[in-house]
């Protein structure tokens, strides 16, 4: 089975689900079973799962014993066959995971690790890595998050408070863009630089440029 099936949840959570299903299934299948014992078993299993969860969090050594550990499967473009077999992955599984990371050539991979979750973490070779803005020496323009300030003609006071704005300030900004009635606005978003982006009720396809 390996970690492909159970990897999305802690192994003990997976076992708890199976055990609970077995206990409740046996109770349903045999009406003569005393329901008190079934209820007690369910409560005990739940408490046991909580205890194991706490131990995993509190005791790192214990957590390592009861969970999968990360394992290298590709190093410097070479597949580590023994490691691959130990996690019960086929080469097709690994190739699929790499494609999901937009990697289509194993030779581009410096290091690939199968995590405890069953997913793959990949570090590309430096020459195959996409250059960053810093690498290119460009200035990064940060417009921040866009908050829905006006929705269907109504101002969201929570957003006003978060950005330390007043309704008068917003109305002035809208007036500068030729908007007198807020009811004309279907959606108005504002970012951390107080730049507005507008969509109108009577013409949703008309979008204003950001205010600079």
Lowest mean pLDDT among 19-33, 73-87, 127-141, 197-211: 197-211
CA–CA gap between residue 24 and residue 84 (Å, rounded): 37
CB-CB contact of 71 with 87 (8 Å): yes
pLDDT band at 142 (very low <50, low <70, confident <90, very high): low
- The dihedral formed by the CA atoms of 80, 86, 90 and 94, expressed in degrees to the nearest 10: -60
**pLDDT digit string, tens, across residues 1-10:** 444 444 455 6
Confidence at residue 5, expressed as pLDDT on a 0 to 100 scale: 44
pLDDT at 143 over 60: no
HEC string for 141-209: CCCCCCEEEEECCEECHHHHHHCCCCHHHHHHHHHHCCCCCHHHEEEEEECCCCCEEEEECCCCCCECC
Listed residue (188, 206, 191) closest to 151, CA to CA: 188
**pLDDT digit string, tens, across residues 42-55:** 888 888 888 877 88
Task: State what percent of residues in the chain have pLDDT above 90.
Answer: 25
* Model confidence pTM above 0.85: no
pLDDT band at 11 (very low <50, low <70, confident <90, very high): low
Confidence at residue 2, expressed as pLDDT on a 0 to 100 scale: 45
Instruction: Copy the structure tokens of residue 205.
Output: 């396809």
Between 208 and 100, the more confident residue is 100
Mean pLDDT of the chain: 81
CA–CA gap between residue 133 and residue 147 (Å, rounded): 26
Listed residue (75, 74, 110, 116) closest to 95, CA to CA: 74
């Amino acid at each position: 089975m390996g970690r492909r099936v159970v990897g999305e949840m802690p192994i003990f959570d997976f076992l708890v689900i199976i055990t609970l299903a077995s206990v409740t299934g046996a109770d349903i299948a045999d009406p003569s079973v005393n329901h008190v014992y079934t209820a007690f078993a369910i409560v005990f299993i739940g408490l046991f799962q909580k205890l194991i969860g706490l131990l995993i969090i509190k005791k790192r050594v214990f957590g390592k014993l009861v969970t999968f550990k990360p394992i290298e499967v590709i190093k410097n473009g070479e597949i580590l066959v023994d490691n691959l077999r130990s996690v019960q992955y086929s080469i097709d599984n690994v190739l699929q995971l790499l494609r999901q990371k937009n990697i289509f050539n194993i030779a581009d991979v410096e290091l690939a690790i199968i995590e405890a979750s069953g997913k793959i973490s990949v570090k590309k070779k430096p020459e195959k890595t996409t250059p960053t803005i810093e690498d290119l020496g460009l200035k990064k323009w940060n417009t921040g998050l866009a908050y829905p300030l006006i929705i269907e003609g109504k101002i969201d006071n929570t957003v006003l408070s978060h950005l330390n704005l007043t309704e008068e300030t917003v109305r002035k900004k809208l007036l500068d863009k030729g908007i007198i009635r807020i009811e004309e606005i279907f959606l108005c978003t504002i970012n951390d630089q107080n730049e507005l982006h507008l969509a109108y009720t009577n013409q949703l396809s008309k979008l204003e440029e950001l205010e600079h």
